[in-house]
Amino acid sequence: MLDIRFVRENPDTVATAMESRAQIWDKERFLELDAERRAAISKVESLQAQRNAISKRIGELMRLGSQQEAEAAKNEVRLINEQLGALEVQRSTSEETLAEMMLALPNLPSETTPIGKSEEENIEVRRWGEPRVFDFSPLAHWDLGPKLGIIDFERAVKLSKSRFILLAGLGARLERALINFMADTHIDRGYKEWWCPILGNAETLTGTGQLPKFEEDLFKTTDGMYLIPTAEVMLTNIHRDETLEANDLPLHYCAFTPCFREEAGSAGRDTRGLIRVHQFDKVEMVKLVTPETSFDELEDMVADAENILQLLNLPYRVINLCTGDIGFSAAKTYDLEVWLPSYNDYKEISSCSNCVDFQARRADIKYRDVESFKGTRHVHTLNGSGLAVGRTMAAIIENYQQPDGSVLIPDVLQPYMGGIKAIKQD
């Protein structure tokens, strides 16, 4: 969340930032609640001091035998206690409402995030690779996958419901190959691998910003646990409520997990094939770093995601998201979009974000550096897909398909596939 002191002292700056993000923020209500809370705190402190002074005088009056004056003083204390009780209720109500407002307030965009209302105003940074020109009519992965016997959409619906995926034979093996290849590659580039739970508690989901705002997009268990929408949730919260040492930073983490999303409100959008499903595999990257280095670390994280696509020889482009398109917790985001022939367009396959201290403030992740400053500061957190596995499989099936209906296996994946060089129809 944002620093409430910053919001209090810079309400117009926050209002302008929220307008650029197309977010509604009631500045006047915030200032009113904040003033009520601070006034209540001040009044409580004043009355408590007054009560303490009177209580001290009661003891002196009792020792002097001034019973009548002592009883009058006791009545004063009782009246003050009643006032304190009412003020505590007022303060508690103001604090709860203010906390709800702060939890619902998104991050401030960085100065290098372009201003824009929607994805149409995102800025393309660069492209890599050339989309393949086919000398035959290529098939979409949702058609070719079933023909090859590696994707079974119909039985997946029977087992679960629509927008779940069942992989068979070499399809399942390709999924495992991609996961291991991605994880190994990130480990070789300095990331520490974790194996995480896929159920998180409310504090964990709140720490990274999924709760309370996006609860409708989450799968929830009967005992109040949540299926994670991304390993970012777990990796970031590993150090929740901890104070790290400067020498511990930076921390570069990665993990494979299944991810679960209700995708509420996305009916009709990319619902064919592997692009937008309720359960998908992903290898995630997370960094905890110092504020001075976080934007350089973001560029490096994007390069780490790009490295996967380059090794797979999949054409892609990098997009700098505008203020109207960045995520709730992000200050700056780059999307990587892979070329999919079925769309004749690029589709998102990775999103890399610098959340600055927004998540660290919610999760209370700090660090100390006695040589640079007194006390503690919040770390900056970053997260990025490295990559979404299902979308990578879709890109491979479509970009590596052959005229005979087979799909070649990228060279870097063949060792993970037991030397298999192609997936062919039986």
Query: Of residues 351, 361, 362, 398, which has the active-site annotation?
Result: 351
User: Is 242 noted as a catalytic residue in this protein?
Assistant: no
Query: Of residues 37, 173, 276, 361, which has the active-site annotation?
Result: 276
CA neighbor of 341 nearest in space, from 393, 386, 413, 397? 397
Residue 158 CB neighbour total at 10 angstroms:
11
- Burial letters 171-181, b for 16+ CB under 10 A, else e: bebbbebbbeb
User: Is 126 noted as a catalytic residue in this protein?
Assistant: no
How many Cα neighbours within 13 Å face the side chain of 51? 15
Query: Of residues 37, 51, 91, 391, which has the active-site annotation?
Result: 391
CA distance 284 to 162: 25
Residue 90 CB neighbour total at 10 angstroms:
16
CA neighbor of 79 nearest in space, from 61, 54, 42? 54
Query: Of residues 8, 348, 368, 377, which has the active-site annotation?
Result: 348
250's tokens: 């930076």
Taken in order 268, 133, 174, 235, is the CA torsion positive or negative? negative
DSSP 262: -
User: Is 368 noted as a catalytic residue in this protein?
Assistant: no
Pairing verdict, β 366-368 and 345-354? unpaired
CA neighbor of 200 nearest in space, from 363, 4, 384, 346? 363
User: Is 57 noted as a catalytic residue in this protein?
Assistant: no
User: Is 391 noted as a catalytic residue in this protein?
Assistant: yes
CA distance 317 to 114: 17
DSSP 167: B
Residue 138 CB neighbour total at 10 angstroms:
18
- The distance from CA 355 to its chain's CA centroid, rounded to whole angstroms, is 8
**Sequential DSSP letters for 68-114:** HHHHHHHHHHHHHHHHHHHHHHHHHHHHHHHHHHHHHPPPPPPTTSP
DSSP 212: T
C-beta separation of 61 from 14 below 8 A: no
Residues 6+ apart with CB under 8 A from 110: 295, 331, 332, 354, 356
Query: Of residues 37, 173, 261, 362, which has the active-site annotation?
Result: 261
| Catalytic residue numbers, as ranges | 261, 276, 348, 351, 391
